[in-house]
Amino acid sequence: MSAPMERVITYVDGFNLYFGLQEKGWRRYLWLNIQELARNLLKPGQQLACTKYFTSRVSGPPAKQVRQSIFIDALETLDDFAIFYGRYQSDPYTCRSCQVTIRVPHEKMTDVNIAVEMMSDAFQDKFDTALLLSADADLVGPIKAIRRLFPAKRVVVAFPPKRYSDDLAQVANSSFVVGRRPIRDSRFPPSVTNRRGVALQCPVEWTEAYIQSLKMRQP
């Protein structure tokens, strides 16, 4: 009789992943099927129970808001996939040299939302392994708590490109940096049809970045 498959829930810090891809120069991969990425990170003997994606609606330029809305609409077509929203809050920032004060937006609640979901799922025995895609050291606490309260469960940290935390690596059962191949192999097709039958096109800027990357690889 074969051993039961190991249940995995993936928790994705959306902005940590987004900015990691940007800093790595992988803008061409922003049209990313997060569920497929989670599957591509599994090991033999594991099965994906669901993926939980944590983000906030951006308050920046209209073009950025449109791109994010299209991307989130595409994510909402996925099965066994849930989106959890934080919020943006504008905090005052005063320049030390000129003393001018401006308001700078900061994302709030993502780390809290992730912690709540990980702890809740652990208590309800919904996973054998929690796969955390983030490098936010604020998540050290819930990881330590899960390992203390549920020693049979594992927490694995997958660091986004250009992101790393020694603190997370030390408290997790294991950790690794997500490489290019699973990300490359997880792009949405150029057009995704939502449940209302509307075709969602990859934002032009991301398509252009992808096409340019293909041209650069040509001899």
Return the CATH number of the domain spanning residue range 6-216.
3.40.50.1010
For residue 209, the surrounding DSSP H or E stretch is: helix 204-216
Amino acid letter for position 181: R
Contact status, residue 49 vs residue 9, Cβ threshold 8 Å? yes
Residue 136: DSSP 8-state: -
Burial class (CB in 10 A: 0-12, 13-18, 19+), 12: buried
pLDDT (0 to 100) of residue 214: 77
Taking the chain (219 residues) in runs of 10, the rounded mean pLDDT of each run is 87 96 95 98 97 91 92 96 82 60 62 97 98 97 98 98 97 97 96 92 91 70
pLDDT (0 to 100) of residue 60: 75
* DSSP states of 76-123: TTSTTEEEEE-EEEEEEEE-TTT--EEEEEEEESHHHHHHHHHHHHHH
Amino acid letter for position 163: R
pLDDT (0 to 100) of residue 219: 45
pLDDT (0 to 100) of residue 175: 98
